A and B are shown apart, each in its own frame.
Chain A
């Protein structure tokens, strides 16, 4: 059964179609959200929220993009909002100067290249990191990313270019160490 048929059944109030639609897309959405959060509980929460919002707004889906892209756009928005709220909460708790970037690991704790790179990606500005995860990690095109983030494809390309440039600096530092 294709997405269009599933959408029609969901809108007609068929709960089994909701489950089928969920099953068809949940892996992709969860994987993306997990990559952005690195926390299984938060990834679960945000994925659930994304699907609930998706079902509530399904009547507004016009089919301009693939349903999976549309759902991932909702998931990215939910995740970024959640991470921002979390960051604000942490900053309030520990004070601005002491607040570590979300998910940042201390590179000196594990000098392994992979860990160091993961730390470097975690430490990228939100926009760069989001585009890096969507493009280089999850394999979305710049056009799809532009649709998800509500930006121009050129902006997505520019952010990816800057993200990679920053990561190259980290790699070069590592090679020198």
Chain B
């Protein structure tokens, strides 16, 4: 076969390779629209109470981190509130404090998630079944969704990590109590695929205390 015929055959192979059928537009749209509606119900994007709820959750979660940060020899995150009577310069620091609080809350959450996923992954090998697994996954999932809707998720990398973490946590939360080893292993594989644990460990190195600026 000469070069010209070879090239023509290659072009023909490319042209005819797995010729697609007509796009099933409406069928696919129904499925997409259904899941998008569920997304909107689950995470109403611009309801005014969400930032406040996120802030409350973040501040609750960040308590421990704040305590550690204010320990002697560690940089303080600054004033935690800016009263109206405070000087203008003090009030101007409030947004930065708020930002730092979100960052710390996110780190705290990612640290807890990393510990939980490590335990979950270990349970895949040992076959152990903790009754608290799905309950804990649900709690973490709730925090995760609040953080996704908060300013903490403005950073694209953090946003992506939180989204991928959400998928993993949702899968674990939906595992029935009598889930087979195969089902649990599939969830584990989903976790490996997104490299969620290594990414979490990059953000929250093992044994370290989350500090400001780690995200």
Which positions in A face B, CB cutoff 8 Å?
13, 15, 18-19, 22-23, 26-27, 30-31, 34-38, 40, 43-44, 47-48, 51-52, 55-57, 59-60, 81, 84-85, 88, 113-114, 117-118, 120-121, 132-133, 136-137, 164, 167-168, 171-172, 175
Report Cα–Cα, A171/B8, bound state, in Å. 11
Q: Pick the contact of B16: A19, A40, A118, A120 (CB < 8 A).
A: A118
Which positions in B face A, CB cutoff 8 Å?
1, 6, 9-18, 20-21, 23-25, 27-29, 31-33, 35-36, 39-40, 45-46, 156, 159-160, 163, 189, 193
Distance in Å from the Cβ of B186 to the closest Cβ of chain A? 8
B21 proximity list for chain A (CB < 8 A): 34, 40
Pair B32/A48 contact, Cβ less than 8 Å: yes
Q: Pick the contact of B18: A30, A34, A88 (CB < 8 A).
A: A34
Pair B193/A85 contact, Cβ less than 8 Å: yes
Pair B1/A30 contact, Cβ less than 8 Å: no
Complex A-B, nearest 10 residue pairs according to Cβ-Cβ distance, in ascending order: A117-B13, A175-B1, A34-B20, A136-B14, A38-B18, A30-B23, A31-B20, A35-B18, A60-B156, A137-B14
Pair A22/B32 contact, Cβ less than 8 Å: yes
Main secondary structure of the interface of B (DSSP, over half): helix
B1 proximity list for chain A (CB < 8 A): 171-172, 175
9 additional contacts (CB under 8 A) given A13-B40, A85-B193, A164-B10: A13-B45, A35-B18, A40-B21, A44-B28, A52-B36, A57-B159, A59-B159, A60-B160, A171-B6
Main secondary structure of the interface of A (DSSP, over half): helix
Distance in Å from the Cβ of B27 to the closest Cβ of chain A? 7
Distance in Å from the Cβ of A142 to the closest Cβ of chain B? 15
Pair B6/A168 contact, Cβ less than 8 Å: yes
Q: Pick the contact of A18: B28, B36, B193 (CB < 8 A).
A: B36
Pair A44/B27 contact, Cβ less than 8 Å: yes
Report Cα–Cα, A15/B33, bound state, in Å. 9
Distance in Å from the Cβ of B77 to the closest Cβ of chain A? 27
Pair B29/A118 contact, Cβ less than 8 Å: no
Pair A23/B36 contact, Cβ less than 8 Å: no
Report Cα–Cα, A169/B126, bound state, in Å. 48
